[in-house]
Amino acid sequence: GAVVSQHPSRVICKSGTSVKIECRSLDFQATTMFWYRQFPKQSLMLMATSNEGSKATYEQGVEKDKFLINHASLTLSTLTVTSAHPEDSSFYICSARGASGVNYNEQFFGPGTRLTVL
């Protein structure tokens, strides 16, 4: 199956700093990538949908200025948590859908990034 990677897998940062998380489709081109957030013992909540070369579409209640998403190429999307605070500590997961030829019915998920803000 298609492989999606995330980097870093775990990050600890001080309050007020910005953190960038990368999501890469390794063996396919992804026109659409999705960013999710998961608090402990809770479900995945979609934050935003990003399409290559265009602005991301954010879900209601998600601050676009705080969670900057860039989908600059068909294999890379980045999520930057700006001025992170302890309440931003969470598990961030990306997923990717293929441009063509890949099963349209499936999103391929990355392994996730655990962010801890001190």
Fill in the DSSP letter of residue 59. P
* Enclosing H/E stretch for 93: strand 90-98
Tell the smallest beta-carbon distance from residue 109 to another protein (Å). Answer: 4
Site pattern 96..115 for another protein (x: CB under 8 A): --------xxxxxxxxx-x-
Q: How far, in Å, CA of 19 to CA of 40, rounded?
A: 20
Sites for another protein among residues 31-90 (CB under 8 A):
32, 34, 42-46, 49, 51, 57
| Residue whose CB is less far from another protein, 43 or 61 | 43
The pair of structure tokens assigned to 79 is: 């999520």
